[in-house]
Structure 1
Amino acid sequence: METSQSPASENPLQQQQQYQEDEDEDHLLKANGKVQTNGKSGRGTSTGSGTSMPPATFMKLKTYLLALRPWSLSASLVPTLLGSALAYRSQWSAEFSLVTFFLTAFTVVTVHCAGNVVNTYFDFIKGIDKQKADDRTLVDHILTKDEVVSLGAILYLAGCGGFVFLAVLSPAKMEHLALIYFGGLSSSFLYTGGIGFKYIALGDLVILILFGPISVLFAFMSQTGHVDWTTMGYAIPLALNTEAILHSNNTRDAENDQRAGIVTLAILIGRTASHVLYAMLLFTPYSIFFIFGLKYSIWFLLPLITLPQAFQIEKRFRNDYTMHLVPRQTAKLNFFFGILYIVACCCAQQLPTFVWRKH
């Protein structure tokens, strides 16, 4: 929930909030083809130094890029990297292919982007995204509804094209890859479209499964051609951290969502319990890594470097004035947290519980 406060009571966190709002406003002006010159706005004008605005096509591409919510893509990219790293450490490492890796990452990320666009469209159509919404794509008419629909269709087609090439090159069976891929694609659409899992308090469960165990298994299977369910155990810390992104977003938007007539987990359990759940989702992975570090390899203590940042974000979650910053900051934490976890998996001599060795 966003609330204004008098200048006299500003603190560093509020100054950061104001800076973020000014930056978002600047992005919006640029997205609409406007530029500020000496306090006056104009369209297609040049700055005093004689430099001209970028071409309209460049600005349009930028608005499309922002509509994809690039800050959220760590939720799908990091599990893909983890699954690929586990494949590289497995007994089938000789089959590891960089081409397959890039195709897998492309396929997963494009479907994630398409899901974000679908989310934008249906949240706007159902009246959930209004003037105080974090996603400004349709609220501020940065893109039209037809443009958003077209963008989503293009992304799904691109993802399917990537999947076709992946299926040809991967040693995995076509039916196994297709089951996971089209299951993930369907879930990305049904999250807000069709059934609308998000609107009936099932969105958290979908995200927990999709952007964790399923993504890791898909990446592992694409490289090795084998279905090994034990790889899903490695995804638990990432899945919890990714769910923290969604839960913070739903907690921030709880009042607007309730007025729109939808139900999320954050609405069902209330503000206090939501804070407890967020803290559990945020800090449980660190407890897991601490145990792994003591039992298996000191490398698994590496993600604990991000622990101070996690405490800062948790503090902002409890403050109504800084709550709106939390989802993006949690996503940023998720990226660095995940990368350090992947480095640990690559460098540790012994992996936790599940170790693949050639016989």
Structure 2
Amino acid sequence: MGAILAWRDGYFHWGYFLLTLVGIVCVNAGLDMSNDYFDHVAGTDDVNETLTPFSGGSRVIQEGVVTARQVLVASLACYAVGIAIGLYLAVTRGWPVLWLGLIGVFLAFFHNAPPVRIYNIAPGLGELAVGIGCGPLVVMGTYYVQAQQLPLEAILVSIPVGCLIAAVLYINEFPDIEADRIAGKKTVPVVVGRRRAVVGYIALIIASYASILVGALLGIFPYTLLIALLGVPLAFRAIRGAQRFHSDTPQLIPVMAATIQLHLMTGVLLCAGYVIAGVLG
């Protein structure tokens, strides 16, 4: 998203784009593996009996595919590569890249790692950390690497991306509620219960599309970004499914899948909107 926006604004460098992409992939891989490791240490995945294709961890430690130590080492190696790339980009493109990157790595690692464990501080903080780290920080950092500046549009267009990735995480927490409660995680579903937690899921999806609509109406975004509203019918189906099946894990699995599709579809459509805007001038 950030790279597409930078391209539309006349800034694009393939080398910096590929480096940024590798760095982001490494940090995300580090996040997934450190999350598996610290969930194992806390006992969350070991006691989780409600498994789905989208929740309950990767199970590679529980099934003996790799050891916990190997997962931790691989995670730290991924973080190290991501940090090294970030340092290079900070030196060559500007120090704001460093601060955005460090915040991202902090949120990725400590959202579930001691001594911070952002998830355990207060309900909603863990979801917020992932939403910010995988949404605004990625979009803003990618744009800055290309353009060496950060306009308001780049900040605001990251909001729907962050909201939808947070929604993916949020709905995936519903099947894990009992295991998370035992492990002391203060996820929103654990604290308020499944039925009331659905309100937060709905709010995230509405906020994502409302931000696109308002941004376009105010002239902050090009009107071509309204193409992303093609995802609204899928959003309604996901919301309805969450309302009906929040306590029925097998029936909730299609809702979890739809939320992932919604995130990917909206991101692709936003990028397409910027490409169309760039072509039209």
TM class, shorter-chain normalised?
0.7 to 0.9
Q: Do structure 1's residue 323 and structure 2's residue 252 form an aligned pair?
A: yes
Once the two structures are superposed, residues 94-136 of structure 1 have per-residue CA deviations (whole angstroms, 9 ceiling, x without a partner) of x420111111111112101101100000111101113524222
The DSSP-based 3-state class of the residue aligned with 2:45 is coil
Distance 1:193 1:126 in 2: 10
Distance 1:199 1:178 in 2: 27
Are the equivalent residues in 2 in contact too, given 1:103–1:165 (CA < 8 A)? no
Paired AA for residue 331 in structure 1: I
Aligned residue pairs total: 265
Distance 2:90 2:214 in 1: 38
Q: Which among 173, 185, 197 is matched to residue 250 of structure 1?
A: 173
Output aligned runs, 1:252-291, within 5 Å: 252-291=175-214
What is the TM-score with the length of structure 1 in the denominator?
0.67
1:117 equivalent in structure 2: 33
Q: 1:349 to 1:306 in 2, by over 3 A?
A: same
Superposition RMSD on alpha carbons, in Å?
2.6
Distance 2:80 2:107 in 1: 16
Paired AA for residue 224 in structure 2: W
2:268 equivalent in structure 1: 339
Moved more, 145-154 or 320-329: 320-329
Q: Do structure 1's residue 88 and structure 2's residue 88 form an aligned pair?
A: no
Distance 1:122 1:240 in 2: 25
Paired AA for residue 246 in structure 1: L
1:142 equivalent in structure 2: 65
2:108 equivalent in structure 1: 188
Paired AA for residue 260 in structure 2: A
Once the two structures are superposed, residues 265-314 of structure 1 have per-residue CA deviations (whole angstroms, 9 ceiling, x without a partner) of 22223222211221121233233434556665552232222223223333
Distance 1:262 1:284 in 2: 25
Of the two, which has the highest radius of gyration? 1
Unaligned runs of 5+ in 2: none
Q: 1:256 to 1:167 in 2, by over 3 A?
A: same
Are the equivalent residues in 1 in contact too, given 2:234–2:258 (CA < 8 A)? no
Q: Which among 154, 164, 173 is matched to residue 77 of structure 2?
A: 154
1:313 equivalent in structure 2: 238
Distance 1:333 1:142 in 2: 32
Paired AA for residue 197 in structure 1: I
Output aligned runs, 1:53-72, within 5 Å: none
Q: Which among 197, 214, 220 is matched to residue 118 of structure 2?
A: 197
Distance 2:213 2:151 in 1: 25
Taking every aligned residue pair, what percent have the same amino acid on both sides?
25
Distance 1:190 1:211 in 2: 14
Q: 1:206 to 1:272 in 2, by over 3 A?
A: same
The DSSP-based 3-state class of the residue aligned with 1:251 is coil
